[in-house]
């Protein structure tokens, strides 16, 4: 699954009240690297990747009539295609949509990965389904975003405070941010971990 950053430079600037392009602390590029590192630290604390997407090719088969199927990896961002191969080897692409007259299936619930059919599928013999879809989260939970922002602020503050070329005036701007986030970032990381555990309980290992 492709990893993503859980916040942007603008988020860090808004939270800290500091415009890094003014030369107050690390450069924009350095903050970008800190954001990526902090995002992976949040993942490590949660014990799983919290955001990002992956394209899956999944196969299912049926020997009975069915009006729905459940995809194994959830939540589902989008379904690219759905087709089935009949017992005689013929492959049939199925049309997506909610119009019963023209369409054959639709994604009913992205969180639980339920695809529903108009009518019944798998009438008389074994049929093999091939589903290509995108799973995961396109953005991080708010707890992960806030934890990442706080981690970056703390890392940037330490960098400024340890910089011999940084003036005392600028260091005084960073000291309160380091102190103010001391307990907040730990609390936010705990929230991230609790949310990740709930997601695993609900969705299983394919839940994000």
Number of domains in the chain: 2
76 and 120 co-located in one domain = yes
Residue 197 above 80 pLDDT?
no
Q: Half-sphere exposure of 152 toward its Cβ, with a 13 Å CA cutoff?
A: 35
Are 127 and 145 in the same domain?
no
Q: Which residues contact 138 (CB under 8 A, 6 or more apart)?
A: 51, 53, 77
**What is the biggest distance separating any 2 CA atoms in the chain, rounded to whole angstroms?**
80
**How high is the pLDDT of residue 32?**
96
Please indicate, yes or no, whether residues 105 and 44 belong to a single structural domain of this protein.
no
> In terms of domains, do 106 and 69 share one?
yes
Please check the confidence at residue 205 and state whether its pLDDT lies above 90: no
34-64 pLDDT, tens per residue? 999 999 999 999 988 889 899 999 999 876 6
Confidence (pLDDT) at 124:
55
Is 2 a domain residue?
no
Position 206 confidence tier, pLDDT thresholds 50, 70, 90: very low
Q: Which domain holds residue 130?
A: 54-136
Per-residue pLDDT for 190 more than 70? yes
Residue 208 falls inside a structural domain: no
Q: Which H or E run includes 104?
A: none
Task: Establish if 178 belongs to a structural domain.
Answer: yes
Determine contact, residues 114/68, Cβ cutoff 8 Å.
yes
Domain boundary among 113, 136, 159: 136
Residue 126 lies inside a defined structural domain of this protein: yes
In a domain, 31, yes or no: yes
Q: Could you tell me the pLDDT band of residue 199, with boundaries at 50, 70 and 90? A: low
């Amino acid at each position: 699954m492709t990893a993503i950053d859980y916040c942007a430079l603008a988020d860090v600037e808004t939270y800290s009240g500091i415009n890094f392009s003014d030369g107050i602390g690390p450069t924009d590029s350095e903050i970008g690297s800190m954001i990526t590192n902090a995002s992976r630290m949040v993942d490590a604390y949660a014990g799983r990747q919290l955001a990002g997407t992956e394209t899956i090719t999944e196969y299912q088969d049926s020997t009975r009539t069915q009006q729905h199927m459940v995809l194994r990896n959830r939540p589902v961002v989008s379904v690219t295609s759905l087709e089935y191969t009949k017992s005689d080897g013929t492959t049939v692409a199925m049309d997506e949509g909610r119009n019963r007259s023209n369409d054959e299936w639709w994604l009913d619930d992205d969180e639980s990965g339920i695809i529903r059919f108009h009518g019944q599928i798998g009438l008389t013999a074994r049929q093999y389904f091939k589903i290509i879809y995108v799973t995961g989260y396109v953005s991080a939970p708010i707890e992960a975003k806030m934890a990442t922002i706080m981690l970056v602020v703390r890392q940037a503050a330490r960098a400024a405070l340890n910089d011999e070329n940084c003036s005392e005036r600028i260091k005084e701007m960073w000291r309160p941010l380091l102190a103010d986030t001391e307990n907040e970032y730990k609390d936010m990381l705990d929230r991230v971990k609790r949310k990740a555990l709930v997601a695993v309980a609900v969705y299983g290992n394919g839940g994000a």
